[in-house]
């Protein structure tokens, strides 16, 4: 007689929600693009924003670009899992996209600011928060300048938020310093691999032994 009694688990095979955030220019977008190449099944959520599109940005691929009043209507209709005002513009994550994709069993990645990440953790405590930190203040400024997407005034505005943002890193599940891009991507990938190795993701696998 087997000494271990199997209990029926109510866990479903839901996907995992990974949230990547950190100061502007720290390399979140670069890391997310690399992660998507390594994990084609990982679904990157496309945010909605009232920010003006930058050169080369495509509607529906980089963001859904909306007017302020349309964004505010979506807030009233509770369409966002989280939303925040970041550097003077609204940004938000579609509740429907995230919840439906997780329910279908796919993993989702959000690249959002810190206010938004903490809102997600409050609503979905099982979400995995990864904070991407710059190696130095000087390097962060250099990257923002080298990216060439923002005016010097906008860069200064973004840099002035960094100290307060770094203080909130302690509320995350993981911190990854983006010094060398390959090393940072490997570390985030290691977090994804570890989180996907939790026993609750193996329900279907274990069930085959009962047949
Ligand atoms: P974020 O999405 O956090 O605002 P980006 O991914 O746009 O940041 O990166 C900002 C700039 O820094 C880009 O020009 C990018 O190519 C560069 N970058 C990202 N990671 C590194 C790194 N590890 N070393 C040097 N440059 C980097
Ligand atoms: P950018 O204007 O450079 O594309 O983004 C500015 C900031 O807004 C970045 O920190 C980015 O991560 C954040 N952001 C992008 N989408 C969202 C979102 O849906 N929600 C929140 N809270 N922040 C977002």
The answer to whether residue 8 scores a pLDDT higher than 60 is: no
Residue 124, pLDDT > 70, answer yes
Superfamily of domain 11-201: P-loop containing nucleotide triphosphate hydrolases (3.40.50.300)
Q: At 211, is the secondary structure helix, strand, or coil?
A: coil
pLDDT band at 10 (very low <50, low <70, confident <90, very high): very low
pLDDT of residue 12: 55
pLDDT category of residue 210 using cuts at 50, 70 and 90: confident
Mean pLDDT of 5-12: 50
Q: What's the token pair of residue 169?
A: 């890193």
- Domain ranges in the chain are 11-201
State residue 5's pLDDT score: 60
Q: pTM for the whole thing?
A: 0.93
Helix (H) or strand (E) holding 92: strand 89-94
Q: Pocket of ligand 1, candidates 20, 21, 25: which has the most ligand atoms within 8 Å of its Cβ, to mutate?
A: 25
CA of 135, closest atom in ligand 1: 23
Give the pLDDT band (50/70/90) at residue 4: low
- Which tens digit of pLDDT belongs to each residue from 128-186? 999 999 999 999 999 999 999 899 999 999 999 999 999 999 999 999 999 999 999 99
pLDDT 10s digits, 33-91: 999 999 999 999 999 999 999 989 999 999 999 999 999 999 999 999 999 999 899 99
d(CA 64, CA 72): 14
Q: Which two tokens stand for residue 124?
A: 């979905």
For the stretch 173-207, pLDDT in tens is 999 999 999 999 999 999 999 999 999 889 888 98
Is there a contact between 129 and 168 (Cβ–Cβ < 8 Å)? no
Decide which of 59 and 9 is more confident: 59
Q: Where is average pLDDT lowest: 10-24, 118-132, 144-158?
A: 10-24
Q: Which long-range contacts (CB under 8 A, 24 or more apart) does 154-158 make?
A: 154/87, 155/25, 157/87, 158/23, 158/24, 158/25, 158/87
Report pLDDT for 170: 96
The ligand that comes nearest to the alpha carbon of residue 178 is 1
Q: Which atom of ligand 2 is nearest to the CA of 119?
A: 22
- Give whole-number Cα distances, 135 to 141, 162, 180, in Å: 11, 12, 9
Protein residue whose Cα sits closest to atom 12 of ligand 2:
112
Show contacts of 84-89: CB within 8 Å, 24+ apart. Answer: 84/112, 84/113, 84/115, 84/116, 84/119, 86/113, 86/115, 86/116, 87/24, 87/154, 87/157, 87/158, 87/161, 89/49, 89/50, 89/51
What would the two tokens of residue 24 be? 């502007």
Give residue ranges with CB within 6 A of ligand 2.
Answer: 21, 24, 28, 47, 51, 82, 84, 86, 91-93, 111-113, 115-116
């Amino acid at each position: 007689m087997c000494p271990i009694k199997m209990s029926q688990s109510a866990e479903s095979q839901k996907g995992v929600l990974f949230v990547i955030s950190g100061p502007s220019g720290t390399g979140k977008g670069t890391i997310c693009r690399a992660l998507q190449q390594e994990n084609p099944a990982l679904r990157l959520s496309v945010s909605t924003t009232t920010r003006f599109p930058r050169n080369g940005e495509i509607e529906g691929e980089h963001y859904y670009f909306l007017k302020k009043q349309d964004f505010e209507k979506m807030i009233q209709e509770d369409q966002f899992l989280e939303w925040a005002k970041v550097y003077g513009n609204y940004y938000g994550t579609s509740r429907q996209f995230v919840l439906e994709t997780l329910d279908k069993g796919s993993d989702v990645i959000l690249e959002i600011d810190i206010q938004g990440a903490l809102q997600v953790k409050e609503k979905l405590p099982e979400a995995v928060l990864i904070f991407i930190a710059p190696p130095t203040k000087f390097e962060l400024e250099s990257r923002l300048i080298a990216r060439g997407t923002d005016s010097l005034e906008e860069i200064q505005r973004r840099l002035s938020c960094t100290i307060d943002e770094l203080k909130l890193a302690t509320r995350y599940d993981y911190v990854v310093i983006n010094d060398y891009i390959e090393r940072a991507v490997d570390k985030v990938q290691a977090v994804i691999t570890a989180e996907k190795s939790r026993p609750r993701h193996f329900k279907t696998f274990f069930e085959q032994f009962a047949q």
